[in-house]
Structure 1
Amino acid sequence: MENNLQVIEQNGQLLVDSREVAEMVDKRHADLVRSIESYLVVIGQNAKLRSDDFFIESTYQAGTGKLYKHYLLTKQGCEMVANKMTGEKGVLFTAAYVTQFNEMEQNLQSFSNLSPQLQQMIRLEQRQNETDQRIGKLENNLGINAYQQTVIQKRINKRVYELVERYGEDSEGKRRMFSSIHRNFRDAFAVPTYKDLRKLDFEEAISWIGTWRPLI
């Protein structure tokens, strides 16, 4: 688990990207989003609580140009996520977000005492850093290329035909297997189709296909 956590300021509010949280705690982003949305259901049932005090829904653009959902977590949102975690991961995540939020809060307090000119210079530098980080994240979220798409398709075909032969399935059984593996693939990697897979997940997807079995 990496211990660095990026806290950003947006409209005077300190926030953490759910993708950063997922990466830090070694959890699929799609699974973390589902967990957050289950928390939001509970929060929504209490009139005294505001969901935006914990989680702010947003979108990001993947390398394919498609928009995907993510959440921005406030300090309270991080606390809620951390409270659901146990063991070393929970301890390290708690330590990381508490440290980073405290540092940012201190920086903001010091920032307010600077001259307007110096504040402007710092803002420009921060914007440049944020732009560089967004470019880096965009590169990490680039989709697989045409060759990799073909490799995925061939591996899926190979795996299904292996299982069809092993289990002696007929044409209807083969059709069901193809339907199942594509559905399971979409769920496992939180993508509309295998063609939307991120480059970062390519090797993991190859391994996943090689061990896939239909649910009985």
Structure 2
Amino acid sequence: MAERELFERALGLQWPWRVERTEFDAAERRLDLHLDFEPGGTFDCPSCGRGGCKAHDASPKRWRHLDFFQHRAYLHARVPRVRCPACGVKQAKVPWSEPGSGFTLWFEALVVALAREMPVRAVARLVGEHDTRLWRLLKRRVGRARAEADFSAVRAVALDETACRRGHDYITLFADLDRSRLLYATPGRDASVVGLFREDL
């Protein structure tokens, strides 16, 4: 199996996407995978989902991917804008990343899994990224998860406060007693936090 085909299978690429070339730098401990779409390839409209949209133009983008053994890996691709008869010209979605993210879906999944077990600063050191980039990733993921969460069956709630740093910085946590899950967390411990929770719920 050719090297490019191996990477195409590993990334789950489907037509019209392909691996155009690879660059491996042992001294820099870095692997760069350059992807492109086949000439004449068509895409789905990112707004309405209509298929068969042709590329209007394309702009280069880069995403951090999972490490390849001990080497940082990056994907590079020209991301097309497509012309949809109904929606006009829109930037196509790529299958390996969400719009506006500088990370691949696999890298994001790793960061989310690690952030469940350790502080974000430790995750940043481990994966070699700045923690502010990871916080943006996590905020987007948590926001989406909370928007999709269904709290309509919540009947019994417990609240507790805990110190979040040395000194007197407190957060208040609200939990669903029946399902043992966190519903809401907010800085502070006075009566106003109950109102914030009520509004959020």
Which TM-score applies when normalising by structure 2?
Answer: 0.22
| Bigger fraction of residues in helix | 1
Report 1 or 2 for greater relative contact order, CA contacts < 8 Å, sequence distance ≥ 6: 1
| Bigger fraction of residues in strand | 2
Which TM-score applies when normalising by structure 1?
Answer: 0.21
